[in-house]
Chain A
């Protein structure tokens, strides 16, 4: 029997809302990249524009996998 549609709605909304409330906005990401870039250039002789920085929130990553598995 097809599950009640409200269950699907709740799960999808939970994922969407959690994701959007936890991603870093562009402005904050900009500050993080700048600060990390400054630290790296202290120890490594490299231009800041040659540094690529990715920030992964571990808790979010776990949740993202849960959401991807529950909705097809």
Chain B
């Protein structure tokens, strides 16, 4: 059963593209056939983050406007045999692309791939509509900062109106020290405010910047975020991986399961 999963956020800069890239690589390493789609038309960055910027011939706009066949725009990542990418375009004007064309593309891709991960642009306008139009699951990425949480709530409210979409929350850039000092929202605070099932938490990790400088993912590398992404991938394929209580000093986790409502299990 193929799945279209869109990563969106409302607020820009919270880590949608980084998440899409790393989860994509992670799923491909679990022997799933994965394709990533960059729907940020105008400011393409998925290919940049993945070090594929020199391999672009055709892009998503070319596919959706019928300028090329789908296969011509697909870039196969040579480092990861199960992973492909369709990059976006760097255009200023609004190209004449339709929701219908996007839905048709997603249906076609479902025949060849297990997971289609869509990297949404920031905001809640037409770019967002395009990114979620064919989604089975939408993951709302937020950080523990007030503006990001507020924007995530706006996005979640819009998504609640759509039928047949399961929504999940992903908390990015979690900083244990700030939380311990009482200067950053805790996981339970965010879950309570946004009242959405939690997919995972990614720790703040400067190694992400370093790996992106090289155009590489975090998977298989040193860094606190690596395990977080791995766990997220495992949860997406159906494994029950508890979310660790990061504030515990030792590695004895008083964890809780991600697929129960946060309100009931946070303090269990």
Residue positions of A touching B, CB distance < 8 A: 4-7, 9-10, 12-14, 16-17, 20-21
Contacts and interface: CB of A to CB of B under 8 A. Distances in A.
A14 B192 CA distance: 9
B182 A6 contact: yes
Interface of B: 146, 149-150, 153-154, 157, 179, 181-186, 189, 193-194
A17 B183 contact: no
A17 B149 CA distance: 9
A13 B157 contact: no
A13 B149 contact: yes
A19 to B, nearest CB: 11
B189 A4 contact: no
Given A5-B183, A6-B183, 15 more contacts: A5-B182, A6-B182, A6-B184, A6-B189, A7-B182, A10-B193, A12-B146, A13-B150, A14-B193, A16-B150, A16-B153, A17-B150, A17-B153, A20-B154, A20-B157
Determine chain B's interface SS by DSSP, over half rule. helix
B184 A13 contact: no
A13 B154 CA distance: 12
22 contacts: A4-B181, A4-B182, A4-B183, A5-B182, A5-B183, A6-B182, A6-B183, A6-B184, A6-B185, A6-B189, A9-B146, A9-B185, A10-B193, A12-B146, A13-B146, A13-B150, A16-B153, A17-B150, A17-B153, A17-B194, A20-B153, A20-B157
